[in-house]
Amino acid sequence: MKLSNLALAICLVLTTAAQAQTKRTDLSLSYSFIQGKLKDAAQQISTLIAATPPDKFPKTFENGQQKFSNSSWWCSGFYPGTLLYLYEGTKNDTLLTLATDKLKPLAKEQFNKGTHDLGFMLFCSFGNALRLTGDSASYKDILLTGAESLASRYHDRQKAIKSWDWGSWEYAVIIDNMMNLEFLTQATKISKDKKYKDIAVQHANTTIKNHFRKDYSAYHVIDYNKETGAVSRKKNHQGAFDESAWSRGQGWALYGYTMMYRETGEKQFLKQAQHIASYILKHPQLPADLVPYWDFDKEKVPATSKMYKNKDLRDVSAAALYASALLELSQYTTGKEAKGYLGAAETLIKNLSGDPYLAQDGENGGYILKHSVGALPLDSEIDVPLTYADYYYVEALIRYQRLLAGKSIID
């Protein structure tokens, strides 16, 4: 066979393989595009793998320096979770081994009753490990002990899981806490004990009641009275000011209510997710590439504020979260609305997968995405890569890959 004929034959085989994977006609990103991005991400993370000490967890790469945490930091589950998603996407067994090795120093957090972040820490990691390996002997007890630790933070007076135990907060509940509820609904599936899911539903109901403004933007923190359970303060800890809409907070809300609709079939959770999506997608401050500024109200930051010089920064972590959540929301809605969510998710995936957001091979400390903002008012993690931005970006790629293969978005 002549070389040009051989090339043509290979091309035909590859095209047929890709077409066999593409069962849906409404998707604009191709199988080879998504596969290519997963492969590139696995290549990129090898730099971070090489830099990560055995007992530490990646946080960020700042001023040319790697920053790691111990297992008790809220982000410790994202790195093993990302490795697991990349294993799922590439079928590279080395990634599975690296991920499961990383679970060992994380396992002790199952006993941690001092934080609400156990969903991020244990479900993104051990939850994905159980889903992908089916190894209940290794993971089931850890997950259930962790869920019990999380459930211990629920109190009937506030009808919500307490987020923080520090500072002058009485009983702080943050919008981010919506993300930890999936851990509880899964614990009910594993244990057949409905108490975990009941807590999740109650927390989500309380959050609908107290966390949202009339326009469906969310406050970051609701502080409840310790004795009476009444709302005592509505605040923004990581947003620009108390009445602003912190972009990642809106993402936690969007993802949280979409997921809670999946887990319960409760129509009011779907409606809430639709309202939040509409707030985000119709916001006049949302840039054309859909990667949000770190706060939707950044224009109201006064020139005298220390935040002012950085007020125009984007937050890629929020964008990655929106991409994954909107992809899922598109599956629970119909017609023009579903098409809108799917189109927005595709735009986000496409834009995050290139300049200026995607890191070049070997740069950015081995993190996949650049340009996230941790907490501008706290002067922390400003315009840096963040482990959770990578996690939700890779999750969006995996979800899209499943849709291309004609599967449901979630296992």
Residues 186 and 123: beta-carbon distance below 8 Å? yes
> Which is catalytic among the residues 26, 40, 101, 176?
176
| Smallest gap from residue 174 Cβ to ligand GLY (A) | 7
Omega cis (within 30) before 58: no
Q: CA dihedral defined by 30, 327, 186, 238, rounded to 10 degrees?
A: 120
Measured at CB, which residue is nearest to ligand GLY? Answer: 176
Q: Which is nearer to ligand GLY, 171 or 400 (CB)?
A: 171
| Smallest gap from residue 176 Cβ to ligand GLY (A) | 4
Q: Which is nearer to ligand GLY, 345 or 389 (CB)?
A: 389
| Smallest gap from residue 60 Cβ to ligand GLY (A) | 12
| Binding site residue list | 117, 176, 248, 252
Separation of CA 130 from chain center: 18
Helix (H) or strand (E) holding 281: helix 267-281
- Interacting residue ranges for ligand GLY, rule: CB under 6 A: 74, 176, 238, 248, 374
Of 84, 211, 86, the C-alpha closest to 139 is 84
> Which is catalytic among the residues 40, 101, 117, 215?
117
Which residue reads 């990383």 in tokens? Answer: 102
| Binding site residue list for substrate | 117, 176, 248, 252
Backbone angles phi, psi at 74, to 5 degrees: -60, -20
| Smallest gap from residue 326 Cβ to ligand GLY (A) | 18
Q: Which own/partner pairs from 329-335 qualify as long-range (CB within 8 Å, at least 24 positions apart)?
A: 329/254, 329/258, 329/273, 329/274, 329/277, 331/408, 331/409, 332/258, 332/261, 332/262, 332/270, 333/270, 333/274
Separation of CA 87 from chain center: 18
| Smallest gap from residue 164 Cβ to ligand GLY (A) | 10
Q: Which is nearer to ligand GLY, 184 or 321 (CB)?
A: 321
DSSP SS3 for 69: strand
Q: Which own/partner pairs from 136-140 qualify as long-range (CB within 8 Å, at least 24 positions apart)?
A: 136/190, 140/190
Q: Which two tokens stand for residue 171?
A: 């009983």
Q: Which is nearer to ligand GLY, 366 or 374 (CB)?
A: 374
215 is catalytic: no
176 is catalytic: yes
Q: Which is nearer to ligand GLY, 31 or 391 (CB)?
A: 391
Active-site residues, by number, are 117, 176
